[in-house]
Amino acid sequence: GAVVSQHPSRVICKSGTSVKIECRSLDFQATTMFWYRQFPKQSLMLMATSNEGSKATYEQGVEKDKFLINHASLTLSTLTVTSAHPEDSSFYICSARDAVREPNQPQHFGDGTRLSIL
């Protein structure tokens, strides 16, 4: 089955640090990748949708200058949390799908990144 790899799985760092999270599709071309955030005991919250080669579309309330998304290739998208603060501590999950050839197929999720800002 389709595999999405997300790295790192856990980050603990000081306030003010910028953190980069990578999301890779290993066996398919991910024309669209999604970045979610999930706080404890809450549902998934879509942060942004990125299409390969174009700017990401951010959901309302998500600061695009704070959460930088780059989707430079069909297999890699990155989320950079700039100048992270304790309130950015959360579980960040990426998902990917081939929106061109398989638009109605399921999104495949990475294993998530648990970010803790001290």
Residues within the interface to another protein (CB under 8 A): 6, 42-44, 46, 49, 91, 93, 99, 103-112, 114
Residue in 44, 46, 36, 40 with CA at minimum distance from that of residue 4: 36
Taking the least distance from each CB to another protein, the nearer of 6 and 25 is: 6
- Taking the complex as a whole, the smallest distance from the CB of residue 16 to another protein amounts, in Å, to 26
DSSP 105: S
Taking the least distance from each CB to another protein, the nearer of 17 and 38 is: 38
Q: Tell me the chain's radius of gyration from C-alpha atoms.
A: 14
- Taking the complex as a whole, the smallest distance from the CB of residue 110 to another protein amounts, in Å, to 6
Integer Cα distance of 91 and 4 in angstroms: 16
DSSP 16-59: T--EEEEEEESSS--SEEEEEEE-TTS--EEEEEEETTSPPEEP
Taking the least distance from each CB to another protein, the nearer of 66 and 114 is: 114
- Taking the complex as a whole, the smallest distance from the CB of residue 64 to another protein amounts, in Å, to 18
Taking the least distance from each CB to another protein, the nearer of 1 and 86 is: 1
